[in-house]
Structure 1
């Protein structure tokens, strides 16, 4: 299993708008192409941070689902621009569970 954690630094005061965009537009489309979103988070310490996590069973599945979403008409036809207008930056971490991980 591959776990991805994505953290977004949003423009000041834009977190609520980004959360609404993510939950109402991006998340349903990600799920429609079969992405497994495992959590959506807002920071309790920083009002401009947002994160989500998702899992993949293999690199092949990841590549297939990424293409289906990030090359879609919906993403390229406006969702990408909307997302970029609300964020300053993002980081992505890809990992695999250790042999003692409870969610292995």
Structure 2
């Protein structure tokens, strides 16, 4: 399986609302689109005083990752839904995509 770990450096003071919108609006849309969301939340450590958050998603293959991501971010549900509330709070983000055993995703889901 493929795991994607995305980290977000957030604008000052926006972390709590970013995670609320992510959990209550964005994650349900991702799951409706067939994306497996393993975990999301705030980092326990602030880097250089910046709040940081994370999103971990799982995919069956790198092709599925590409296809689902393209379809989701092009969808009206995302664009007219939580997109602005999410994007407006992000200073920058970084993604790591790697192969991992199913047990890794399952362990993170139990978190």
TM-score band by shorter chain is: 0.7 to 0.9
Name 1:75's counterpart in structure 2: 78
Matches of 1:30 and 1:64 in 2, distance apart? 13
In 1, Cα distance between the equivalents of 2:103 and 2:27? 26
Aligned equivalents of 2:22, 2:70: Cα separation in 1: 18
Q: What residue is the counterpart of 1:55 in the other structure?
A: 58
2:19/2:41 contact within 8 Å kept: no
Question: Contact conserved, 2:5 with 2:55, CA < 8 A, in 1?
Answer: yes
Where does residue 104 of structure 2 map in the other structure?
103
Q: Does 1:43 align with 2:39?
A: no
Residues 102 and 79 of structure 1: CA distance in aligned 2, closer, same or farther (over 3 Å): closer
Tell me whether 1:31 sits opposite 2:34 in the alignment. no
Unaligned runs of 5+ in 2: 106-111
Q: Displacement of 1:81 after TM fit? A: 2.2
4+ runs deviating over 4 angstroms: none
- Residue 78 of structure 1 deviates from its aligned partner by 4.5
Superposition CA RMSD, Å? 2.1
Q: TM-score, normalised by structure 2?
A: 0.80
- Partner Cα distance (2:31, 2:81) in 1: 18
Structure 2: how far apart are the matches of 1:103 and 1:85? 31
Higher deviation after alignment, 60-69 or 2-11: 60-69
Runs of 5+ consecutive residues of structure 1 not aligned to the other structure: none
